Amino acid sequence: MKNRKDLMPAQQDRRAVPRKAGRGASGKQEVKMLKGVKGAVAGVIMVLAVAVWSADGCAAKLYLRDGKVLTGTVTSSDTDFVTLSTDFGRFTVPRNKVERLVYNEVPAQDEGEEDPVDRAERLYKESRIANGLDGTVVTANRGECMLSDLPVVVDIITRKDIEKTNAKNVADAIARNCGADIISYPEGLSDVGIRGFAPNPGSNMRRTAVLVDGRKILTTNLSTILIDDVERIEVLKGPASYLYGSGGMGGAINIVTKHSREKVKGEVGYEFRTFMAWKGFADIGGSAFPGTDYDLTLLAFEEAQYPVPPANRLWLGNSCTNYNGAYRSGFKLTDNHRIDWRVDMFLAQDMNYAGDFENKVQDPGKKDMSRLTYDVIYGGKTETDEHMWQARFYGGNNVSAYKSQAGYKTNDSRTDYMNISAQDRERFSDHHEVVFGADYNWDKTVNGRCANGANTAPLAPDSEKFNFGVFACDRLRVMDERLMLTLGIRYDGYKLDALSTDFLKNSPGEEYSSSFDPRVAAAWRVSDIAQVHASAGTGFVVPEPYQKIGSFTPPTGDTRAVHGNIDLLPEKNVVYDAGVTFNMPAVYADISYFYSFLNGGIEKTTTGATLTYQNAVNAEAYGIEGKATVVLSDIWGWSKTVRAYANFTWLLKNWDITNQRDVYNVGKFKANCGVDFEGKRMNLRCNYRFVGDRRDLYQPLNEPAQVKQVGNLNIVDVNFNYKIVEWLHASIKIDNLLNQRVEDKYGYPLPGTVVFGGIALKF
C-alpha cells in the first residue's frame, strides 16, 4: 500500500492557495460586510466557471508514489525536482516522490480530445492540491492524514502566512489568519479562543487545546512558543476532546515545528522596530549525513515602552529582553524506523508586569519567566504500511518567578509536567484505517506570592493532577471516495490532589473525575466542485483540584473560606456544525454554520460565609464562519501570482443563559481580508483586520468590577519583502498603519503604528 505525502509547491511560481479564517463587524456593518463577502465570492465563482488557465509546452503526466496523477506541461526537470505547469498553476515535486514521468501522454493544445468526465475529475483532484487541501494534517486523527479526507473544519496557517502577517507570536498569527478571539497583554501573555469561547491566558481552565507536533502541551501562554521554529499552524474547529482530552471544547491548535530533511539550509537576520525594539534570529536545518537530520532555531528580541494612541502616553516602563531557542535531531534507524528528540526553551528577565493603563500602580511588579520542554519520539511502520506506530515521552516546566522588592506585589508559580503516550494506526485498506492509543499525563503546580519584598500566602493552594486516557478514531472513505466518515471516542480518568501549601491555611485532599467524549463527522462530494460536511461531538474541561477538594482562605482581605465541591463535574459542551465547500481551479471557498451549548460551566458562588464552586453556568453560541481565496493571476493569466482572500466569523448569538448577558471578551464579528502579491523578487501583502464590538469585565483599582463596551477595531498591516540577490533579502513591515488604539483586553493597550526594517542572509 502506498504512503500519502505532501507536494512541495514551486518557490517562485506556485499557485497554491493558502487557507485562512477571520475577524469582523457588528450591527448593520456586519450584514453589509457579510453580504459583500458573499457577493464577491459568488461573482468570482461565476467567472471561474468559464475561466481555466492553461500553459504551452511539452505535455506529460506525472505519476506520484502516493497514487496521485498530475497532468500538464513540464517546464523543467533535473535529478532533484520536476516542475509541472497544470491547469491550476505550477508545482515543483521532489524526484523521490515521483513514480514515473510520461511525456506526450496527453495533447498539449487540443484538450477537446480528453474525455469531459475525465477532465472534470482531473481538474477537481488537481485543484484540491492547488488549494492546499491535500496537505498533511496532524490534528485531525493523531497521525498524518490528507486534509482532503477530513470531514471537519481545519484552517491551515503556512510559514509564508506567518511571515507575511507580521506575527510576533503564535496567538498573533492565529488572530490575523483565523476566526479566533485573542487576548494579548503588553508584557507578553497571550491566548486564543475558538467559536465563542473566551481566551483565558495564564489559567489551566482553558477551553482550547494547544498542541506542538501533535502532543498536548501545558503552557498557558502562547507568547512563550518560538514562532520562528513554526512551519505551520493547524486550527481544528469544533470539539477536540475525543482526541486530546480536557480543554478541547472549542477546538485544537496544532503547532507544527520545522522538520528539515533535505539539503542543509539556513538563515541569519536582524530586525529593528520603532520604540527602540529589535529582533535577532538564526536558523539552520537539514540532513548533513545520510540517515540523520536536524533543526536549530535561535531568537532574541527586546520590547520597550511605547506611546499609546491617541494621546501617545508612554506605557510599560523599561525594556525587557526575551530569548527563545529550539533544537531537534532525528536519526533513521532503518527504512521504516526512526527516533527524534527535541528541546526548546523560553526565557524573559525583568519582564514588566504592570497593572491596567488607567491605574498603572495597580499590582506593579517584575518577573522572570521561563519555559523548558524536552521530547523523545520513536516511530515505525511495517513494509506494507498497514501499521504505523509511535511511542512518545515528553516533559517540561513553566516558571514565573517574582522579583522581590519593596512596593511590588506579584504571583509566583511553577508547573512541572510529564506525558507518556503510545498509539498505532492500522490501515485495513486504502479506504479504511483506525488510530487508537493511550495517554498518561502528570502535572504539579506550586504557587507563591510576594508582597513588599516578603513571601506571603498565594491565591490558591498547590495542586497535582494525574490523567489516563484511551482513544480510538475510525476513518472510512467509500462510494469511490465521495463519502468520508469519521468516528472518534475517548475516555479520560483523573485523580485530583490539593496539596499542603506554604503560608496558606488549607486542607489537602484528593478526588476523582472522568469524562467520555465522542465525535462523528461526514463529508459528501456532491459534484466536481462542491462538498458538504457536518459533524457533532462533545468537549470537556476538568476542574482544578482546589475547586473540588478541601478548603482555604485566600489572602485578599476577604475572611470567607473557599470550600471545594466534591460533587463538581467537568464542564461539558455539545457542538454541531455543517457547511459547504466550493473548490475549483483558482478558487476556494467554505461557509459553515455552528452551534455550541455549554452545560455546567464552573462558577464561584456564595452561600452565607462560604465561597464554593458550582456547575452553575449554561451558555449557547451559534454563528457562521466562512473563508474564500481567489487566485486572480490564474483567472487573467498574469505571470505573477496575485491572490485575494477573505475570512470571517460571525457570532449571531453568544449568550450566558445563567447570568443573562453576553459572554465577556468575545467579539461578535471578526474578519480578515487582503491582497497577496508574489513576484520573482518582490512579495507584498496588505491585510485588513476588523474586530467588532465586545463586552469586557474591567476591575479598576479599589472599586467594584465594571462591564466595559469595547468598540470596533480597524487594523491595517503591510508586509513588503525584496530579494536583492539569492542570498540577501530585505523587508519593511508596518503594523497598525492607521494608528488605532488596540486593546485585546480593556485597560491593556498595545502599540500604535509600528514600523519594522529587516535584513536576512540565506545560505
- Does residue 264 or residue 98 have the better pLDDT? 264
| C-alpha span between 88 and 80 (Å, rounded) | 23
Highest-confidence segment of 40-49, 332-341, 625-634, 699-708: 332-341
Q: pTM for this structure?
A: 0.81
Indicate if the pLDDT at residue 545 is higher than 60. Answer: yes
pLDDT grade, residue 359 (50/70/90)?
Answer: low
For range 525-550, the mean pLDDT:
92
**Nearest residue to 17 via CA among 583, 531, 482:** 583
Residues of the chain with CATH 2.170.130.10: 137-255
Q: Give me the residue label for grid cell 492509543.
A: 437
3-state secondary structure of 129: helix
Indicate if the pLDDT at residue 43 is higher than 50. Answer: no
Diameter over CA atoms, the chain: 86
Residues of the chain with CATH 2.30.30.100: 55-104
Indicate if the pLDDT at residue 468 is higher than 90. Answer: yes
Residues of the chain with CATH 2.40.170.20: 256-762
Indicate if the pLDDT at residue 392 is higher than 60. Answer: yes
pLDDT, tens digit, 9 for 90 and up, residues 592-615: 999 999 999 999 888 777 889 999
For range 21-37, the mean pLDDT:
40
Highest-confidence segment of 170-184, 507-521, 624-638: 507-521
Domain 55-104: assigned CATH number: 2.30.30.100
pLDDT, tens digit, 9 for 90 and up, residues 398-431: 988 776 555 556 678 889 999 999 999 999 988 8
3-state secondary structure of 264: coil
Which are the contacts of 151, defined by CB distance < 8 A and separation ≥ 6?
484, 485, 486, 521, 522, 523, 533, 534, 535
Average pLDDT, the chain: 80
Indicate if the pLDDT at residue 106 is higher than 50. Answer: no
Q: What angle do CA 315, 320, 325 make, to 5 degrees?
A: 140
**Nearest residue to 174 via CA among 223, 102, 139:** 223
Tell the CATH superfamily of the 137-255 domain: TonB-dependent receptor, plug domain (2.170.130.10)
Q: Is 122 left (phi over 0), alpha (psi -120 to 50) or beta?
A: alpha
Give pLDDT, residue 487.
Answer: 94
Q: Which three cell numbers stand for residue 636?
A: 487573467
The CATH class of 256-762 is mainly beta
Question: Strand 661-662 to strand 669-678: parallel, antiparallel, or no bridges (unpaired)?
Answer: unpaired
